[in-house]
Amino acid sequence: MSTASPVPAIPSVVPAGRMAGAPQPDIPVPGGLLLRPWRLADADALLAAWRDPAIRRWNRPAAGGAEEARAKIAQFEQRWHDEEWASWAIARAENDTVVGFIAVADLHLRAGHGEIVYWVLPSARGQGVALRATESVTEWAFGKLGLHRVELTHSVANAASCRVAEKAGFRLEGIKTSAALHADGWHDMHLHARIRDDGVLNSSKDVHPSAA
């Protein structure tokens, strides 16, 4: 009587502990930018983002004052150690001024995937900040963290974020119907994605990124 062979266990794409067991890195970005961990002293930049109409249009920012902003920054650090999110401030390398936010969100290390989310403050828009930060954090997600798939979603009405995704090498895979609640109601969302074996990212070009 034959015995069926045991089904081999599916290994984790990224071993547990790869993030929690290491400090969150700084990531240099071409063009004089630096991705660095958020600090409590950055609360004013976070408050400015929460109050910005364009950021509020495309995102679901928190509300509150300085205390809530500091609590959110503490949450960024905790989510790194919990291996759930990897969140960075986008800063000017020359003076450490925070001009935006980027994260690899909704991380599932065992399955090897996450999602890029970002916003850029008004003072830095139209300078290719979102594109360059997206390229750099995607390189980290594949090359250092070891993810297999990274997604980027945005409202179908957000043409600027669509350009950022495409220029960063994220192919449009389809539309998620009524997938995200915005201030003006439910939006269909474009689903873009990159796979680790897709190849080299496109070179950064100046675009006009939205606040998304």
* Domain ranges within the chain, ordered by starting residue: 41-198
In this prediction, residue 2 carries a pLDDT of: 57
Q: What pTM did the predictor assign?
A: 0.89
**Among candidate residues 155, 150, 124, the one with its CA nearest the CA of residue 137:** 150
Q: pLDDT digit string (tens) for 4-22?
A: 778 888 999 999 999 999 9
In this prediction, residue 165 carries a pLDDT of: 97
Distance CA 51, CA 109 (A): 33
Query: For all residues of the chain together, what is the average pLDDT?
Result: 91
Query: Which position has the token pair 């043409």?
Result: 159
Provide the token pair at 113.
Answer: 């995937």
35-39, 72-76, 110-114, 208-212: least confidently modelled range: 208-212
Mean pLDDT of 98-118: 97
In this prediction, residue 7 carries a pLDDT of: 82
- CB under 8 Å, gap of 24 or more: what pairs does 134-137 form? 134/102, 134/164, 134/165, 134/168, 135/168, 135/169, 135/201, 135/202, 135/204, 136/27, 136/28, 136/29, 136/30, 136/35, 137/27, 137/35, 137/86, 137/88, 137/102, 137/103, 137/104
Is residue 38 pLDDT above 70, yes or no? yes
Say if residues 154 and 212 touch (Cβ distance below 8 Å).
Answer: yes
Apex 50 CA angle, 45 and 54, nearest 5: 105
Say if residues 178 and 115 touch (Cβ distance below 8 Å).
Answer: no
| Domain 41-198 CATH class label | alpha beta
Q: pLDDT digit string (tens) for 72-106?
A: 999 999 999 999 999 999 999 999 999 999 999 99
